[in-house]
Structure 1
Amino acid sequence: MQAIAQLKEGDSVEETYLAATKQIATARNGVTYLSIKLADKTGEIAGRLWDNAEHVAGKFQREDFVRIKGIVASYQGMMQIKMKSLEKVDDAAVDIANFVQAASREPDEMVQELRAALAGIGNTHLNQLMQAFLNDASFMESFKRAPAAKALHHNYVGGLIEHVLELINLCRDVAKHFPAIDTDLLVSGAFIHDIGKTHELSIRKTIEYTTEGRLLGHISLGYEMLVEKIAGIPGFPEETAMLLRHIMLSHHGQYAFGSPKRPKIQEAVVINYLDDLSAKINNFQATLEKENVEEGGWSAYNKMHDRYLYRQSLSPDSAASAHEPEGAQEDANAQGSGKLPLDI
């Protein structure tokens, strides 16, 4: 398999990819060409076909598998494949494992760890709430398969539960240093903060937003799910319900990051920061792996982190001789925090 992440300028390509997007476009000189986004589980790359563009475009649809022949080239600093030919490939002839990435751990193993973590919640009502979710077979089937995001972090089958387990473990560690924190509320908030992503995202051949995901978003969807489960528990304290709803509404931290509210209790502050930490470290590690960055080397510019990423050498001596890539100073015009609100 010629993985997209490993393609280099000048490579000859003859491989099957997913046509993630498809568009007939017109160049400045008036020539019509076919523009598609080719994808596998390692990444995406633009594809351009100039000969018989409209005829070839009629052979396939968006999200079909296609076998292409072409040459990898660089255009305006971005890699693309100049395609010479393209043919549709039947789904049955394709190994879907090449296109849908999955967590390294088995989903059921992660579910067991989650159940054990939530079983330690001592607050009776919070424990009942957690069990209400855990005993919802339909929810758990979706939860253990869902990705945590479309592109930026934990974007694979089982990514959501993996992200949530990371966050729960981080929360427990941090809570040890701050005795005034309500650990039961903190862990419960870590579990529920992204439950709406079970409805926001879907996995078929790729990760895509659902219609309700595009219209409502995971915070609104998760809020509705939380309120519904709380309503099914007699005598659930109003204060506790309000604090949990606040954690969900504030976990993105800032209005500019898509957060309806900013954190105003310490448990919400912790979840906001650790949620971001889990996302960014996962993205950092995945970037180095996908781009095959060697020790002492640098990644391409990373949008989430708003910078180039360095893989340190195991040898201090060789690390001292490494140089940041040309033009790698933080863009004077890129003043953002690197936290992208719609995909965390």
Structure 2
Amino acid sequence: MRNDSRGVPYLSLRLVDRTGSVDARMWKLPKELLDGLDGPEYVRVEGVTHEYRGMLQVKIERLTVLSREEVDEGDYVPVTERDLAALASEMESLGEELEDVYLKRLLDAMVADEDFWAAFCSAPAAKSMHHARIGGLLEHSVQCVRVARVLAGIYPVDRDLLLFGAAFHDVGKVEELSWNGGGFSYSDRGRLQGHVVLGERILRRYMEKVPGFPDELEMELSHILLSHQGEPEYGAPEQPRTLEALLVHHIDNMDARVEMFLAATENVSSGGWSSHDNPLGRALYVPPGRKG
């Protein structure tokens, strides 16, 4: 609920289904909506789309809150538009370019676990901040590997360690998040421990399945996962202290923020501005001749 410049209350919403999202506003509110909505709801709306300050927006004329029995919840879960099978194949083929035999065996052990691999390939990368869609974790991970390949040709790094860290820095999301029931939420384990700790534990379980996995490699790989958030205030038990860990942190951060920008400007016309109400916390500009 917000008030306009005249002090008149209106409802500000974001309408979401599996195809995407759009901002919406509703004036002339019935009594039952004067206090807004308690939280996310399934709704049926009637209204008119128009462009407001360069952004697509829906002016809602009628809104009805629906019960869960009236909807197919699968219609409301965002899904990546990318080819999930192709992304999974690209991730699996990473093993073919790894020269380190232990990292190669580690990847093989993870892919061979069908339940884990199915979860990794379908999980969202976040509840709402970035790549919040079915397959979002896989999409984000593949993109990070692609960036890591470029950086490995520029900086004096252990290429295999950098690529593997970029691929699985967010592996804890498979236990931190739940993506059933028509939306994304945090599991109890996710709320209590977070994906950074969960991810390091997951990777450690698979490292224990690889005979003779070197202690030094285990330590450096664990450090990448534990430090990839960068700073303690963002959930990192440690700051990056190796070059590979530093690069994985910045690769992750860059891809996440690019995705935030693209999602926030999805409905912005050329030469227009987004709303400031987005994960980046600022109005974003799409220059003339470009698409949001």
2:197 counterpart residue number: 220
Alignment of 1:185-264 (within 5 A): 185-203=161-179, 204-264=181-241
Give yes or no for contact 1:38–1:47 (8 Å, CA) kept in 2.
Answer: no
2:8 counterpart residue number: none
1:310 counterpart residue number: 285
CA distance in 1 between partners of 2:277 and 2:65 (Å): 33
* Of 36-45 and 247-256, the range deviating more from structure 2: 36-45
Give yes or no for contact 2:141–2:166 (8 Å, CA) kept in 1.
Answer: yes
Q: Secondary structure at the match of 1:216?
A: helix
Give yes or no for contact 1:118–1:187 (8 Å, CA) kept in 2.
Answer: no
Q: Secondary structure at the match of 1:273?
A: helix
Normalised TM-score (structure 1)? 0.69
C-alpha change, 1:199 and 1:83, in structure 2 (3 Å) is farther
CA distance in 2 between partners of 1:254 and 1:52 (Å): 44
C-alpha change, 1:95 and 1:238, in structure 2 (3 Å) is closer
CA RMSD of aligned residues (A): 3.2
State the AA in 1 paired with 2:270.
E
Per the TM alignment, residue 306 of structure 1 is displaced from its structure 2 partner at its CA by 3.8
Alignment of 1:127-142 (within 5 A): 127-142=104-119
For 1:224-250, what per-residue CA distance to the aligned partner results, in whole angstroms no more than 9, with x for missing partners? Answer: 111111111111000000000000000
Q: Secondary structure at the match of 1:67?
A: strand
C-alpha change, 1:185 and 1:314, in structure 2 (3 Å) is same
Q: Secondary structure at the match of 1:260?
A: coil
2:160 counterpart residue number: 184
Q: Secondary structure at the match of 1:102?
A: coil
Identity %: 30
2:88 counterpart residue number: 111
CA distance in 1 between partners of 2:121 and 2:171 (Å): 11
State the AA in 2 paired with 1:245.
S
C-alpha change, 1:312 and 1:221, in structure 2 (3 Å) is same
C-alpha change, 1:308 and 1:87, in structure 2 (3 Å) is closer
State the AA in 2 paired with 1:218.
H
C-alpha change, 1:71 and 1:113, in structure 2 (3 Å) is closer
Q: Secondary structure at the match of 2:268?
A: coil
Give yes or no for contact 1:147–1:160 (8 Å, CA) kept in 2.
Answer: yes
* Of 265-274 and 196-205, the range deviating more from structure 2: 196-205
Q: Which has the higher contact order (CA 8 A, sep 6+)?
A: 2
Give yes or no for contact 1:200–1:217 (8 Å, CA) kept in 2.
Answer: yes
Match of 2:129 among 152, 155, 180: 152
State the AA in 1 paired with 2:178.
S
C-alpha change, 1:237 and 1:40, in structure 2 (3 Å) is same
> Is residue 295 of structure 1 aligned with residue 240 of structure 2?
no
State the AA in 2 paired with 1:304.
P
Per the TM alignment, residue 304 of structure 1 is displaced from its structure 2 partner at its CA by 3.4
Per the TM alignment, residue 162 of structure 1 is displaced from its structure 2 partner at its CA by 0.4
Stretches of structure 1 lacking an aligned partner (at least 5 in a row): 1-8, 10-34, 73-78, 316-344
CA distance in 2 between partners of 1:260 and 1:106 (Å): 34
> Is residue 51 of structure 1 aligned with residue 27 of structure 2?
no
> Is residue 174 of structure 1 aligned with residue 154 of structure 2?
no
2:247 counterpart residue number: 270
CA distance in 1 between partners of 2:24 and 2:289 (Å): 32
State the AA in 2 paired with 1:51.
K
Q: Secondary structure at the match of 2:150?
A: helix
Give yes or no for contact 2:47–2:62 (8 Å, CA) kept in 1.
Answer: yes
Q: Secondary structure at the match of 1:40?
A: strand
Give yes or no for contact 1:145–1:160 (8 Å, CA) kept in 2.
Answer: yes
Q: Secondary structure at the match of 1:125?
A: helix
Per the TM alignment, residue 51 of structure 1 is displaced from its structure 2 partner at its CA by 3.4
Please say which structure displays the higher CA radius of gyration. 1
2:97 counterpart residue number: 120
Give yes or no for contact 1:115–1:134 (8 Å, CA) kept in 2.
Answer: yes
Q: Secondary structure at the match of 1:187?
A: helix
2:53 counterpart residue number: none
CA distance in 2 between partners of 1:154 and 1:85 (Å): 28
1:29 counterpart residue number: none
Query: How many residues are paired up?
Result: 268
